[in-house]
Amino acid sequence: MPSRPTIPILQLPLNLPHLPLHNPPNNPLVLALLRPPHPHLQPAQPRQQILPFLTQPRAGAAIDATIPRRFPRRSIHAPGIIRTPARRLAGGWGRRSRALFSLTALGERDDLRGLRAFVVGALRGAEVRRDGGVGAFHFAPGPDALAGVEARAGAGEGPGVGVVGLWVGRGGGVGGECGHGFRGREKGKERTVAKEGDQVSGWVAVGGRAVGWAGGLAGLLAGGGLGYSNCDGLTQPSLDQVKQIIQDGNALPNPPNLVPLCASISSEFLTPSSIYLKIAAHAKTNLSFLFESAATTETIGRYSFVGADPRTTLASGPKHGLEADPLPRLASHLSQYRVAHIPSLRLPPMTGGAIGYVGYDCVKYFEPRTHRDDMKDVLGVPESLFMLFDTVVAVDHFFQKVMVITYLHVPGKDAPQTAVDEAYAACKKTIADTLKILKNGEMKLPEQGPVKLEQEYTSNVGRAGYEAHVTKLKEHIVTGDIIQAVPSQRIARPTSLHPFNIYRHLRTVNPSPYLFYIHCSDFQIIGASPELLAKADAQTGRIITHPIAGTVKRGTTPDQDVALADSLRASLKDRAEHVMLVDLARNDINRVCDPLTTRVDQLMLVQKFSHVQHLVSEVSGILRPTQTRFDAFRSIFPAGTVSGAPKVKAMELIAALEREKRGVYAGAVGYFGYDVVDPSSGKQEEGAMDTCIALRTMVVKDGVAYLQAGGGIVFDSDEGEEYEETMNKAAANMRCIEQAERLHWEEQQGVGGLVDEEVLGEGVVGAGTDEVRMERVDVAGG
């Protein structure tokens, strides 16, 4: 049986007044207190917790953990020495062992094999230096606490290692291989370390999480982004590695012709909005986008994406060159490119590709029966618009870093030998220029002209008109033509606000899983959608959709909020409507997926948003080999939650009543990625797809903001209640415009301060007319 090595405990002289020990993703210092676990060590026993809790050290103090003498030094366990109010950290992050590090500190004699464990942090058999060396860790104050690490060993050295904070050796030693992001040195030769699936000191990094026997917090961070892609601005992969990728791919029948390059910096002083403003200010065109995902009670968004100056733009519609299904042309453009899969980069799910929207009116190309020639085009925007990006900026909120990602276009076989070098240099320059823009402290806010308050909202149908639509659709339900339909009304609101100032406030008053701002030259799309339309998991081939049906407003108190949620669950009308749409989603999924794989993963969960609560379900299935993600999109589009059931007949009736093109509303916003090829195996996977329904969405054009909202009509729907439901759904966007106008008006008037949210009331509507005026409602003291 191999001997068990000693695991020393380090003392870290810190010049920081506070050390936040209870937030592990933001506190990599904790990870360096102990070395990475050795493969021969055994998981700690849960009840042998003998080390005291670490406390907040005073300035200049050292973290100390004294071993009680009553415990034998030959078998000292250190399981989960840090706790949080809710749970032990290791219990949430690790597997197989609930200990944070699952280490066993073993020693011989009374001096732990000669190591002075609490002096300067000697590492096994290493030379101890008080000013830096193996085991002596100096942490520079600042956003990246590990930036100042110095670790020297005989095999090589690096300018600052990853979050694991150590030179990671396969045998648990120090100096064999370095965990410095993508690069490492061993005996003077550069090599790639810590690839996906590689075992490094007992950790197995898969998909950003450590699932090896240790399974601790350190494994999570090492397998995520910080251990492999440091915030040092270093471009990865190197030129030699790119050439090797291209050489490996040339032997394949489908070689990759795009190689992703990336570099990262800390996101401490950067927000998605500030990044967008900086990038857009330096753009050469008026085409740009910002995608965000805000937290709800059930979900947390990890990434935000920013891009400007697309390589190509694809628009469709009567005045835009293509009056046909826009998806074949989009698929044709995307199919020309294949991205090399590089697991060690740990890239986000979206690294480029097509970003944009498919408007609701494109359904006439998918279902010709729904086409009508007498539909008025009030907005005059393209029926679909996609921008193809080679460079995007991704914000990783979990690891607090910003990644600039760009594609290197592989030169053709007839290109000169220097073509790859030139392409790599051009990509490095793109990354360097983008990082320079982001690091620049200056940020130009949108130019905002004089703001006019309390302008009128005008509905295209009014209360009487919408209630008449409800009555007419109920008649069709009685005759058996349909089971449900979803009519809508559009509300126009003149505003002098810059569109991005509207978005800035929308993201605060209505945080949603899908937040987006798309600048399309002469119009802007601003949205906070709660609902996923169609998503394709490239690795599993699974297609996912989230039907939402059943709505109730938020309560004014937590108890009232719970009571309203309970009433929503108990509502027979909402439950019947929801189950019907879940069945419709199952039918849409079955058209392109193996029916044996179709399943309802979640059923009628209550999801809370800023103004309303919804019943939400999840339906998924594995795509058949003969089908593509574009087939799945056509099958699901538009969602039953914005059309009805049976879907085609419901859409025919809606078009006959509304007589206006819906435009972006009720369509889809999202992205389609490029196909991915593994250069080593030649395996090709269809690119990612993630789209949401364009709900809670505004189109701003020529100084007018257009809002639209609808609701599901069934047999026992009440006309007045259905109208109020549409107004509740539009309330967040209405409040957003009014609040943003008030804030900017006060700034211009020199008043200052923030407007009370309660001042922005639900609005008073005029009944019985086609024109609706939403008036401000002041509360006491407002």
Q: Catalytic residue numbers?
A: 614, 641, 665, 696, 712
Distance between CA atoms of residues 696 and 527, nearest Å: 6
Q: Within 10 A of 635 (CB to CB), how many other CB atoms are there?
A: 19
Q: In angstroms, what is the C-alpha Rg of the chain?
A: 29
Distance between CA atoms of residues 504 and 495, nearest Å: 15
Q: Within 10 A of 303 (CB to CB), how many other CB atoms are there?
A: 17
Longest CA span, the chain: 92
The answer to whether 708 and 727 have CB atoms below 8 angstroms apart is no
Q: Which residues pair with 693 in a beta bridge?
A: 668
* 85 cis-preceded (ω within 30 degrees of 0): no
* 343 cis-preceded (ω within 30 degrees of 0): no
The answer to whether 353 and 389 have CB atoms below 8 angstroms apart is yes
Q: How many residues does the chain have?
A: 782
Collapsing DSSP to helix, strand or coil, 651 comes out as helix
Task: Give the Cα-Cα-Cα angle 572, 295, 520 (nearest 5 degrees).
Answer: 100
DSSP state of 501: H
* 450 cis-preceded (ω within 30 degrees of 0): no
- Candidates 764, 273, 752, 750; CA nearest to 498 is 273
DSSP state of 190: E
The answer to whether 304 and 272 have CB atoms below 8 angstroms apart is yes
Ranges of H-type helices in 596-718: 629-636, 647-658
Collapsing DSSP to helix, strand or coil, 477 comes out as helix
User: Token pair for residue 350?
Assistant: 């979206």
Distance between CA atoms of residues 627 and 646, nearest Å: 23
Q: Are strands 203-206 and 384-389 parallel, antiparallel or unpaired?
A: unpaired
- The phi, psi pair for 735, rounded to 5°, reads -60, -40
Distance between CA atoms of residues 208 and 565, nearest Å: 35
- Look up tokens 């799945």; give the residue: 632
Distance between CA atoms of residues 150 and 142, nearest Å: 16
Beta strand extents in 689-782 (DSSP E only): 689-693, 697-701, 704-710
Which residues, 6 or more positions from 20, have their beta carbon under 8 angstroms from its beta carbon? 26, 27
CA distance readout (Å), 624 to 619, 627, 691, 732: 16, 5, 20, 40
> CA 303, 305, 311, 314: dihedral to nearest 10 degrees?
90
The answer to whether 529 and 692 have CB atoms below 8 angstroms apart is yes
User: Token pair for residue 625?
Assistant: 């080999």
Please give the single-letter amino acid code of residue 219.
G
The answer to whether 99 and 138 have CB atoms below 8 angstroms apart is no
Distance between CA atoms of residues 603 and 555, nearest Å: 23
